[in-house]
């Protein structure tokens, strides 16, 4: 009985209300303090689940369905050579993460448009050759969703993209397109002012499975490739009908079969390497993309490279850890495995936060009344233990159930509770009790005067 009285009493509910109000104010306030900017930038891009991906998960078993080819800084003619080698060994799908925006030849005097060079024609032929044994296009080339200048869409709060950037039609004639933007709802506004920010959050955690552009549905690069490889898998992604999906990273580059352009060209010229090439490419998803000049070349360039949750330095990330083509490979693996991440409903998040906050307040409140001057030291230790327990539960739920939760308000409640309790019992309650005594004394005095 004493336990329930200590837990469910008026003081605890009043303190819970005060902590809730303070938490909502702090979580919604926007204070621009220059001296705090470095700290804010360090932690603003941190997510608790980064600890899981970076330190706990590690690489899963090798992905045998996907082979990545590094195209380095090669030109169109050399890339066509790579595609011819790949195409000879019957891949199921070939994804090309590179733009070929216009033809490189001289301008035609009649049409006013550039003509195709020999390299342009070789690349087109390589694309056609890859499709030769199929009635459908095997090749998927990246496209990009963007906005036209002065577009009416820009006047909307949540505009739809109204422009699709592609490689030249000379190449797209024999290939399908897939959006390479790692776009999220949270970064859409940034795209309005700086299209280079269309690649998503600073840390690449999410992607849009599809975008409607001019009333036409466009799948993302990974989903389009998955659709060609296993249509039923891609269909399940679309049926989820999420505007944004979180990427369940399967691993770093070590998870995937990888071959450099130099090695591939050497093997292509070696008749004894046919069996090895067949093992790499036959009935596989083959992704061609940039991963540095060569795989073994160290470069300071961040071209097509992203921060991801797999980064070993998960707070204050200093260097980008994953090339875009590997991010796409991780998304494809997730789609094929149907291993999606879900989010806990908002109402359930708030219910859990309420339970955390009320339990913390009840324990802190009991400690304040019974431990006297020990309270400050005990409360600091309890705050640390509470916070660690919440973080552990967040990671546990994420690991076991593939569910992301947002219990940050619960951590705020734990941080604020001891100070709010001291203010409540030391100021608010004393003021209330004194006011109540004075009112009672006045009432007694009034009764006494009436009796006299």
- Residue 296 and residue 165 share a domain: yes
Helix axes 118-130, 76-88, angle to 10 degrees: 20
Q: Residue 230 domain-assigned?
A: yes
Instruction: Name the more confident of 3 and 310.
Output: 310
Distance CA 95, CA 141 (A): 6
Residue 63 shares a structural domain with residue 193: yes
The pLDDT assigned to 186 comes to 44
Which residue has better confidence, 44 or 96?
A: 96
- Using CA atoms, how far apart are residues 104 and 300, in angstroms rounded to an integer? 29
Q: 353 with 293, same domain?
A: no
Is residue 336 located within the same domain as residue 357?
no
Which pLDDT score, from 0 to 100, does residue 369 have? Answer: 87
Looking at 340, 359, 385, which one is the last position of a domain? Answer: 340
Check if the beta carbon of residue 224 is closer than 8 Å to that of residue 178.
yes
Is residue 40 a part of any domain in this protein? no
Q: Judge if 367 and 415 occupy the same domain.
A: yes
pLDDT at residue 438, as a whole number: 82
320 and 257 both lie in a single domain:
yes
Give residue 360's domain range: 11-27+344-447
- Residue 219 and residue 312 share a domain: yes
Average pLDDT over residues 33-37: 45
The answer to whether the CB of 265 falls within 8 A of the CB of 73 is: no
Number of domains in the chain: 2
Asked if 325 and 384 sit in the same domain, the reply is: no
Task: Read off the pLDDT band of 175 (50, 70, 90).
Answer: very high
Q: Which of 340, 356, 387 is the last residue of a domain?
A: 340
Do 84 and 165 fall into the same domain?
A: yes
More confident residue, 327 or 192: 327
Backbone angles phi, psi at 218, to 5 degrees: -125, 120
Q: Are 192 and 159 in contact (CB under 8 A)?
A: yes
| Domain end (from 311, 340, 369) | 340
Assigned domain for 50 exists: no
In whole numbers, what is the pLDDT of the chain averaged over residues?
A: 86
Residue 428: inside a domain, yes or no?
yes
- Is residue 402 included in any domain, yes or no? yes
Q: Are residues 210 and 102 in the same domain?
A: yes
Together in a domain, 153 and 298: yes
48 assigned to some structural domain: no
- Residue 53 within any structural domain of the chain: no
Buried-state track 60-74, b at ≥16 Cβ within 10 A, e below 16:
eeebebbbbbbbbeb
Answer yes or no: is 42 within a domain.
Answer: no
Q: Are residues 294 and 420 in the same domain?
A: no
Beta-carbon-side half-sphere exposure of residue 377 (alpha carbons within 13 Å): 4
For residue 448, the model assigns a pLDDT of 65
Please name which of 338, 340, 359, 357 lies closest in space to residue 349, comparing C-alpha atoms: 357
The mean-pLDDT minimum among 55-69, 213-227, 254-268 falls in: 55-69
């Amino acid at each position: 009985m004493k336990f329930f009285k200590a837990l469910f009493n008026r003081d605890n509910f009043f303190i819970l209300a005060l902590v809730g109000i303070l938490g909502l104010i702090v979580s919604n306030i926007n204070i621009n303090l220059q001296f705090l900017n470095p700290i804010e930038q360090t932690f603003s891009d941190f997510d608790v689940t980064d600890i899981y991906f970076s330190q706990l998960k590690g690489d899963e078993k090798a992905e045998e369905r996907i082979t990545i080819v590094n195209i380095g800084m090669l030109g169109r003619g050399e890339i066509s050579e790579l595609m011819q080698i790949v195409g000879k060994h019957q891949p199921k799908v070939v994804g090309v993460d590179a733009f070929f925006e216009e033809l490189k030849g001289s301008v035609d005097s009649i049409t006013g448009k550039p003509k195709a060079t020999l390299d342009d024609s070789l690349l087109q032929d390589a694309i056609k050759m890859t499709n030769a044994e199929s009635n459908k296009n095997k090749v998927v080339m990246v496209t990009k969703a963007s906005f036209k200048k002065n577009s009416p869409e820009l006047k909307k709060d949540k505009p739809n993209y109204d422009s699709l950037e592609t490689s030249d039609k000379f190449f797209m004639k024999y290939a399908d397109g897939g959006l390479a933007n790692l776009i999220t709802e949270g970064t859409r506004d940034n795209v309005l002012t700086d299209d280079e920010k269309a690649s998503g959050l600073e840390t690449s955690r999410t992607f849009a499975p599809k975008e409607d552009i001019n009333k036409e549905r466009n799948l993302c690069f990974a989903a389009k490739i998955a659709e060609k490889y296993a249509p039923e898998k891609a269909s399940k992604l679309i049926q989820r009908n999420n505007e944004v999906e979180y990427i369940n990273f399967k691993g770093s580059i070590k998870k995937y079969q990888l071959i450099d352009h130099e090695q591939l060209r050497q093997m292509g010229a070696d008749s004894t390497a046919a069996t090895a090439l067949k093992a790499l490419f036959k009935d596989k998803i083959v992704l061609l993309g940039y991963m540095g000049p060569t795989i073994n070349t160290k470069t300071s360039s961040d071209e097509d490279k992203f921060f991801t949750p797999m980064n070993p330095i998960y707070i204050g990330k200093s260097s980008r850890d994953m090339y875009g083509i590997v991010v796409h490979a991780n998304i494809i693996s997730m789609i094929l495995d149907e291993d999606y991440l879900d989010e806990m409903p908002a109402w359930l998040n708030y219910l859990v936060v309420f339970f955390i906050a009320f339990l913390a307040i009840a324990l802190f409140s009991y400690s304040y009344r019974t431990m006297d001057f020990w309270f400050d030291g005990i409360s600091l230790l309890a705050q640390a233990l509470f916070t660690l327990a919440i973080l552990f539960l967040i990671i546990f739920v994420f690991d076991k159930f593939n569910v992301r939760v947002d219990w940050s308000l619960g951590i705020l409640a734990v941080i604020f509770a001891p100070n709010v309790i001291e203010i409540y019992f030391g100021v608010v309650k004393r003021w209330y009790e004194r006011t109540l005594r004075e009112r009672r004394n006045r009432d007694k005095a009034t009764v006494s005067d009436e009796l006299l």
